[in-house]
A and B are shown apart, each in its own frame.
Chain A
Amino acid sequence: MSTTSYNSNPILRAWYDKETRSVIVQVIAMAIILAFFAYVINNAVINMANLGKDISFSFLWQPASYDINQTLIEYSSRSSHFDAMIVGLINTLLIAAAGIVLSTIVGFILGVMRLSNNWLTQKIAYVYIEFVRNVPVLLHILLIHGFIIYSLPRPKQAINMGDTFFLNNRGLQMPSADFQPLFWAVTATFVIGLSFAIWYRRYAKKLQDTTGKISPVWTISFIAVIVAPLAIYFLLGSPIEWDVPALKGFNFKGGMVIRPEFIALWLALSLYTAAFIGENVRAGIMAVSHGQTEAAHALGVSSSRTLRLVVIPQALRVIIPPLNSQYLNLTKNSSLAIAIGYMDVVATIGGISLNQTGREMECMLIVMAIYLILSLLISAVMNWFNDRIRLVER
C-alpha cells in the first residue's frame, strides 16, 4: 500500500494530518490577507503623500457654508459639516422609518390579497408584485418624482383642501402645531391613559388565564389612549395654535411642508419593498397548515381571533427573517435619494461636504460607517423580535 510511501515523507505526512493542515492553510491565508491589506494601505499612504494629503477629521468642525432644505434640527449655512452630517443622518433615518412602516403595511395587504379567494384581487396583487419587483428601484424613484413635479399643479394653482392643506409640485403644505402652555395637560392624560392601557392589558390577560373571561381590551385601551386626551384637549379649549400655510410670493409661507423629493423617495422605496414583503407574507401564511385553522374553529374560536392568535403568530416566524433583509435593503436603497436631491446622509456629508472639502477618504469612511451601524441596529432589533416570537420548544 501507499501508506508507507507517504508516511516516509515528513511534508506529506504533515499535510495529511488534519490538524497540521488546517494550521498551514490558515497561516497561508492569514499571510495573504495581511500582505494584501499591507500592500493596499501602503499604496494609499504613498499616494496620499504624493498628493500632499493627509487623513484628518478636523474639517467636520468648519462651517459647512451651504443650506439644506429639509432640516429637522436647527441648521443654517453657518453650522458645521458635522451638523450637516447629523441633518443628513436624521433625514436618512426619517425616510427609512417611514418607508419601513408603509412598506410593511402595503406588503401585508398585498400578501393577503395574493391569497384572496377573489380571482380579481389575487391577479391584481400578482401583476402589481411582478411589475414592481422587476423594475429597478431607481426607476421607480425617478418615475414618481417626475410624475409629481410634472403632473401636480404649481403653487399658484395648488389643490386647495379646506384652506389648510395645499398640494402642489413643491410638496404638500400643511399646518404646523404651535403648542400652548396648557397642552401639558393633554400630554399628561395621554401618558396616564397609555400606562393604564398597558396595565389593563396585563390584568385582562391574567383574568383570562385564571377565569377564561375575555375582557374588551381594545375598546378600553382606545378610550384611555385616544378618547380621554381628545376630551381633555377640547375641554381646555384646544390649546394648540395651528400655523396654516398661505400663498405668499413664490411659495407657501408658514406651516410645514412635505417635499416632493421626500414623497417620491418614500413612495418609491415603500411600494418597491412592499412587493417583496408581499411575497414573504404570502409564503409565511401558506406555511401555516390549514389544519391549524380548522382546529381553532373546531375549538369554537372565532374567525378573527383565529387569524390573530393562531395563524399570524405562526406565519410571523416564517415572515420575520426575510423581512429583516427587506428592511436593510430599504434603508440602503434610501441612499439613492441623491438622484432626486433629497438631502440624506450621502447627499450631505458624502456629497456636498465631500466636494467642498475634498476629503473623500474621510467622508466615505463616515458614510460607510453610518450605514454599517444602521444595518447592525436594524438586524439587532429584528433579531430581538424574532427571538420573542420564536417557537419555544420545551
Chain B
Amino acid sequence: MSQEYAPGTHPSLPPPRGTTGPIHWLKENLFSSPTNTIVTLVIIYLFAQILPPMVDWFFSDATFVGENRKACTTDGACWAFVGDRFNLFIYGFYPAEERWRVNLTGILLVIALAAVLWDRMPARKQMFIYALAFPFIATWLLTGGAGLEPVGTDKFGGLTLTLVVGITGIVISLPLGVLLALGRQSSLPIIKYFSIGFIEFIRGVPLITLLFVASTMLSYFLPPGSSFDLLLRVLIMVTLFASAYMAEVIRGGLQALPKGQLEAAESLGLNYAQAMRFIILPQALKISIPGIVNTFIGLYKDTTLVIIIGLLDPLGIGRASVAHPDWLGLSSEVYMFVAVFFFISCFSMSRYSLYLENKLHTGHNR
C-alpha cells in the first residue's frame, strides 16, 4: 500500500541495509580486504598478549602506598614513592612554611592563563593587564623580598622549576623571536646578517652546551666580580635558544604572505612599524601558530635538560629519589611517572593549538 506525499514532504528513507551500523563500520575499517583482515587479527592478538601484563604491572599488581621499597611486595609497579616524594616533585626544596606562596602563584597563573587563552573571560581587558603584570607578581612571590622572606632560586625544584623555566622562556622568546625574524627579513644588511648569524649559531649547537656555558663560563663574560643567579643564567640561555627557533617559525609565516600585503600597506601610507603591527604580523603569526606551539612544547620538554647542570626538575627529583636507599632501583616507575606528567601537559598544549587553529581559520577558505 503506497501513500501519497506532496512534493518535498516525503520522510527520509533509512539508508540501504549494510551501509551503516557497527557491523558495516567494522567491515569498512577493519576487514575491508584479506590483507586488512590479517593485519587486524594480528594486531588484536598482539594486544591480547601485551595489554593484560601491562595493566597488571601498572595497576592491578601495583603498590600505591608505602613508606619505602620494602612496602612493595607485589610484582607490579611501585608507585608508593610518588606519595612519599610528592612535595619534592611539586615544590623542590622550597621551604615548607613558605609553600603557600608557590600555591598562590599557581592559582594566579591559572587565572592569568585563562585570561590569555579563553576568549569568553569576563572583563577580559582588565584581566589582560593583570596577565601582563603577572610575571612581576610571580617573581616577587617566589623569590621574596619587600615584606616576604627571601627564598634563593637554588631552592627551586620539581614542577615549580619546570613551570618557571618553561613559562619564562615561552613568554620572552615570542617577542624576541618576532624581532629576530623581522631582522632576518630586513633590507638592512648589518641587521640581517647579525640575525642570521645569531639564529644559525644557536640552532647549530645542542642546548646542553649552551646550558653548560651558562652554568660555568658565563661569569667570564660578565664584569669582573659580578655574578648572577644560576637560574637566571639558565633562563637567559633557554630563552635565547627558544627565540632562535621561534624566529625561524615566524619567518616561515612571514614568507607565506604574498608580497602584495606589504605593498598594499605601504601604498596606504603606513610606515614600517604600522604595516608590521596591523597588516603583516597578525597574518604571519596566525599562520605560524602550529609552529609556535610546537616550539613552546619543545622548550617545555627541554626544561628536563637542566638536570645536566645540576638543577632538579621533576626528572632530576625522580632520579635523586631512585638513588635514595628507600627507593633504590625503581627507575622504570619514576621515569614512567615523569613521562606521564610531561605527556599530559604537552598533549594539552598541542590540543589547544588545534583548537586555536580552527578558531582563527577565517576567510582563507573560499
Chain A contact residues, CB within 8 Å of chain B = 22, 25-26, 29-30, 33, 40-41, 43-44, 46-48, 50, 117-121, 124, 130-131, 133-139, 142-143, 146-147, 150, 328, 332-333, 335-336, 338-339, 346, 350, 360-361, 364, 367-368, 371-372, 375-376
Contact = CB atoms under 8 A, between A and B. Distances in A.
B343 A135 contact: yes
Contacts of A336: 206, 208, 305, 308
B206 A26 contact: no
A117 B29 contact: yes
B335 interface: yes
Contacts of A333: 206
A336 B219 CA distance: 24
Interface centre among A26, A138, A372 (most CB of B within 10 A): A138
B287 to A, nearest CB: 15
A371 B335 contact: no
A375 to B, nearest CB: 4
The 3 closest A-B pairs by CB, nearest first: A119-B29, A134-B346, A146-B331
Contacts of A360: 216-217
B301 A142 contact: no
A118 B194 CA distance: 51
Interface stretch (B81-89, B99-107, B197-205): B197-205
A339 B308 contact: yes
Contact of A117 (B36, B189, B305): B36
Interface string B177-209: 000000000011111001000000101111111
Contacts of B223: 43
B203 A119 contact: no
A41 B254 CA distance: 35
B217 A364 contact: yes
B204 to A, nearest CB: 4
B78 to A, nearest CB: 13
Given A43-B222, A46-B224, A139-B315, A368 B39 contact: no
Interface centre among B32, B36, B206, B346 (most CB of A within 10 A): B206
A279 to B, nearest CB: 10
Contact of A346 (B209, B305, B339): B209
Contacts of A335: 206, 208-209
B206 A137 contact: no
Contacts of A22: 187-188
A371 B297 CA distance: 23
B40 A120 contact: yes
A338 B332 contact: no
A387 B305 CA distance: 36
Contact of A134 (B36, B302, B319, B342): B342
Interface string B304-327: 110110000001000100000000
Contacts of B39: 118, 120-121
B209 A142 contact: no
B332 to A, nearest CB: 6
B251 to A, nearest CB: 13
B338 A139 contact: yes
B213 interface: yes
Contacts of B191: 25-26, 29
Contact of A350 (B212, B224, B329, B347): B212
B180 to A, nearest CB: 13
B336 interface: yes
A137 B39 CA distance: 30
Contact of B188 (A26, A40, A339): A26
27 contacts: A26-B190, A33-B190, A40-B221, A47-B220, A47-B221, A47-B222, A117-B36, A118-B36, A120-B43, A134-B347, A134-B350, A138-B304, A138-B307, A139-B339, A142-B331, A142-B335, A143-B335, A143-B339, A150-B331, A328-B203, A333-B206, A336-B208, A339-B308, A350-B212, A364-B209, A364-B217, A372-B201
B30 interface: yes
A130 B189 CA distance: 42
Interface residues of B, number: 53
B30 A120 contact: yes
Nearest to B212: A364
A246 B232 CA distance: 53
Interface of B: 29-30, 32, 36, 39-40, 43-44, 187-191, 194, 201, 203-209, 212-213, 216-217, 219-224, 297, 301-302, 304-305, 307-308, 315, 319, 329, 331-332, 335-336, 338-339, 342-343, 346-347, 350
Contact of B29 (A46, A118, A142): A118
Given A143-B336, A150-B331, A372-B205, A137 B224 contact: no
Contacts of B222: 43, 47
Contact of A361 (B201, B217, B315): B217
Contacts of A346: 206, 208-209
A137 B329 CA distance: 21
Nearest to B207: A332
Nearest to A142: B335
B219 A367 contact: no
A48 B29 contact: no
Contacts of B29: 117-119
Contacts of B346: 133-135
B192 to A, nearest CB: 10
Nearest to A117: B32
Contacts of B335: 139, 142-143, 146
Interface centre among B194, B208, B216, B329 (most CB of A within 10 A): B208
A386 to B, nearest CB: 16
A328 B44 CA distance: 37
Given A350-B212, A364-B213, A47 B206 contact: no
Nearest to A51: B220
A136 B357 CA distance: 24
Contacts of B216: 360
Given A117-B29, A375-B204, 9 more contacts: A46-B224, A117-B32, A121-B43, A134-B347, A138-B305, A142-B319, A143-B335, A335-B206, A376-B204
Interface centre among A26, A46, A328 (most CB of B within 10 A): A26
Contact of A371 (B30, B205, B219): B205
B189 A26 contact: yes
Contacts of B302: 136
B301 A137 contact: yes
Contacts of B304: 136, 138-139
Contacts of A139: 304, 315, 335, 338-339, 342
A118 B39 CA distance: 8
Contacts of A338: 208, 308
A375 B205 CA distance: 8
A249 B167 CA distance: 53
A41 B203 CA distance: 22
A371 B204 contact: yes
